[in-house]
Amino acid sequence: MRVEAVEVLVAQLSLRTPVRSAGVTHADKATLFFRVLTDEEPGWGECSAYPDARSPDPTVEAIEPTTVDRAIARLFAGSIGATLPPAESVAGLCVGAGSVGEQSVAGALEMAVLDAELRSASRSLASLLGVAHREVAVGDVVGIPPEHDLGTLVDAVGAALDGGAQRVRVKIEPGWDHAPLSTVRERFADAVLQADANGSFAPGAATGLRGLDAYGLACLEQPFAAEDLQSHRALAESMSTPIALDESLWSLARVRDAVLAGACSVACLKPGRLGGVFATIAAAEACAEAGVECFVGGFFETGLGRSVNAAVAGRAEFSLPGDLGDPDRYLAANPFAYLSQEGGTVRLSDAPGLGAELRSDVLAVHRTSVRRVDFGS
């Protein structure tokens, strides 16, 4: 397959309802897409760039155009008018020093190349990844409600469970920890609950965090700063609640370090942050070998990125429900139709490609820029 051009598009999207986690409220979502044009089928990729307050992830503004152009140049260096590199080689070709920004761009380019490859070969992503079962469990996330209102929180958790979520991740922060979790646990005794602190607690808060053992949480996610594996290990040794990491896991090497350090027994793995599908599967394999459970985390993707995440989550290494709810529920406008979701499961597609279908009318309305890098003669 020969590459003819790469289009770089930015769309201004927004969440239906703002979602607050510790230190940041997500509302607007600039989203960067790639379209790879080939002499066979084209392919689409979505960039995950969407940081939290304390995450290593970039904004779209931070990576477009410099990091994007550098990655495209690396990917196609010496291949003007020539063969499209295989998807499995994309991350290795694009990622230079290995910054998270470069990895997020590499993940999006890999996605576009994968889509083109799969459509041209009439093959689905689930088939390529060797996913045994097409039904994949869906989890949901509930943000911190305005004015810390417990009634609003209970309603939101109830709505997530009514929507079929097989686990609910409740966002917490200092001062909003025991009260929300005890209230939710009291109301939903059998629900699978996780708490996600997004790195907002200081190490000195460990004593108070140990009390969260009372709420039967499936895990406590990222209580401390992303760099601080030591405090996570110390807390893990003193709590019965499993400790999960998310923001700390920004590369395969970092996942291995965290696992070796005993800093987590659950891993939230994000394909966009880690540099794509294959990097994420390698990280999940490292976790599985060490007995660390995994789930796929989300960045409020459109149907495109989320369909890819769902296929990854179908792999056997991912034993916990991922952030796989339908983007139509949280995006005011979603330019890619998602997989079919029924209750607490999403069904992976066997159609050629990634499983998502472009809604060109939606993209046309929300697209704010498009540029094209040509590779033809």
- Residues within the interface to Mg ion (CB under 5 A): 196, 246
Closest separation in Å from C-beta 359 to Mg ion: 28
Using the minimum distance from each CB to Mg ion, give the nearer residue, 71 or 244: 244
Using the minimum distance from each CB to Mg ion, give the nearer residue, 44 or 330: 330
Closest separation in Å from C-beta 330 to Mg ion: 16
Using the minimum distance from each CB to Mg ion, give the nearer residue, 160 or 363: 160
Tokens 């995994």 sit on residue: 294
- Are 22 and 171 within 8 A, CB to CB? yes
H helix intervals, 50-149: 60-63, 66-75, 87-94, 100-120, 125-128
Angle, in degrees to the nearest 10, between helices 277-289 and 100-120: 110
Which residues does the annotation mark as catalytic? Answer: 171, 270
Closest separation in Å from C-beta 168 to Mg ion: 13
Using the minimum distance from each CB to Mg ion, give the nearer residue, 246 or 326: 246
Q: Residue 116: helix, strand or coil by DSSP?
A: helix
Closest separation in Å from C-beta 196 to Mg ion: 4
Using the minimum distance from each CB to Mg ion, give the nearer residue, 57 or 64: 57
d(CA 289, CA 108): 27
N- to C-terminal Cα separation, the chain: 15
- Are 130 and 7 within 8 A, CB to CB? no
Using the minimum distance from each CB to Mg ion, give the nearer residue, 31 or 200: 200
Q: Which residues of 167-270 form beta strands (DSSP E)?
A: 168-171, 193-196, 219-221, 243-245, 266-269
Closest separation in Å from C-beta 352 to Mg ion: 33
- Are 167 and 321 within 8 A, CB to CB? yes
Q: Residue 334: helix, strand or coil by DSSP?
A: coil
Collect all residues with Cβ–Cβ distance below 8 Å to 260 and sequence separation of at least 6.
290
Nearest residue to Mg ion on Cβ basis: 246
Closest separation in Å from C-beta 95 to Mg ion: 23
CA distances from 62 to 12, 14, 300, 319 (A): 15, 19, 18, 34
